[in-house]
Amino acid sequence: MRIAVTGSSGLIGTALVRSLREDGHQVVRLVRRSPRAEDEVEWDPRRQWVDTSGLMGCEAVVHLAGAGVGDRRWTDAYKKEIRDSRVLGTAAIAEAIASLDTPPRVLVSGSAVGFYGDTGERAVDESAPPGHGFLPDLCQDWEEAATAAQEAGVRTVFARTGLVVSAEGGAWGKLFPLFKLGLGGRMGSGRQYWSFIALRDHVAALRHILDTPELSGPVNLTAPTPVTNREITAAMGRALGRPTLFSVPAPALRIALGEMSGDVLGSVRAIPRRLLDTGFTFACPHVEGAIKAALG
């Protein structure tokens, strides 16, 4: 297939593009600058503009672009950047797709399990309602921004992603150096659930979505066995052979991270019901396997 990908230079996008090309698919990468290679197409999410000539002939679009939620402290300015990069970018892609005489068959648009807010110990699947707060509100607006593609008859899937286990980047990539130094430990009470997914499973799940016509709407991209921060801390210590004696009290996290601390201390116990129901098999269903895979 000819497949367009935004966010192709990010952690997930890089791995996805590599996987697709290894299997012979033609990948078009959308970039926010003048193209420098034959496989690049320019777009500007802030101006909601896409060079639609580069999307012609594409059978699928995977939209992963967006400012990193955990990259900086959540000031009002950065929260606006996070929101605009997702909402405006998604609207631009959806409207560009809808304008084509022959639109792609499927749009896979990024989202997050932050949609559900703090679920405590309650397990939630894709049928659960949204939570309350910045991330749930963002995810709702993010998904609604794809309406133009849906109205054009394009199968649209919202990939509600959990924490991607990788040593190469993302939020988990910041944990590995601390644990290797013996400075890792639980955060807050450690009882909060973290919904994780191995990078290899995330890429495989995206490809499963592309190849499964019955999937549309929200799909949780998380392992089937979410675990607590305390359990993750122990697993990281075992995998790296390091002590995990340190802990960061909740008040200290709130001072250090501000509003973003709610995402770290909050509990999301998401279950990938729709992936499981359509026959997807996880290579790393448990956190120990995901950590070992990340270590190579």
Domains defined for the chain, CATH in brackets: 2-165+198-222+271-278 (3.40.50.720)
* pLDDT given at position 101: 95
Question: Which residues neighbour 10 within 8 Å (Cβ) at sequence distance 6 or greater?
Answer: 64, 65, 169
Return d(Cα 212, Cα 227) in angstroms, integer.
28
- Using the predicted structure, report yes or no on whether residue 231 has a pLDDT greater than 70: yes
Return d(Cα 292, Cα 294) in angstroms, integer.
5
Contact 63, 89 (CB under 8 A): yes
Return d(Cα 212, Cα 21) in angstroms, integer.
19
Return d(Cα 189, Cα 120) in angstroms, integer.
12
Nearest to 5, CA basis, from 154, 107, 85: 107
Summarize the confidence of residues 46-58 as an average pLDDT. 93
- Using the predicted structure, report yes or no on whether residue 255 has a pLDDT greater than 70: no
* pLDDT given at position 253: 65
- Using the predicted structure, report yes or no on whether residue 4 has a pLDDT greater than 80: yes
Return d(Cα 290, Cα 235) in angstroms, integer.
10
* pLDDT given at position 250: 73
Contact 290, 284 (CB under 8 A): yes
> What is the per-residue pLDDT across 257-290, written as a single tens digit (0 to 9) for each?
677 667 777 899 999 999 999 999 999 999 999 9
Summarize the confidence of residues 38-56 as an average pLDDT. 94
pTM score, two decimals?
Answer: 0.94
Q: Which residue has the tokens 């033609």?
A: 26
Contact 187, 178 (CB under 8 A): no
| Confidence class for position 71, pLDDT limits 50, 70, 90 | confident
Return d(Cα 98, Cα 106) in angstroms, integer.
11
**Average confidence score pLDDT of the chain:** 94
> What is the per-residue pLDDT across 167-209, written as a single tens digit (0 to 9) for each?
998 889 988 998 999 988 899 999 999 999 999 999 999 999 9
Summarize the confidence of residues 36-50 as an average pLDDT. 94
- Using the predicted structure, report yes or no on whether residue 211 has a pLDDT greater than 90: yes
| Confidence class for position 248, pLDDT limits 50, 70, 90 | confident
Contact 226, 193 (CB under 8 A): yes
Summarize the confidence of residues 16-35 as an average pLDDT. 96
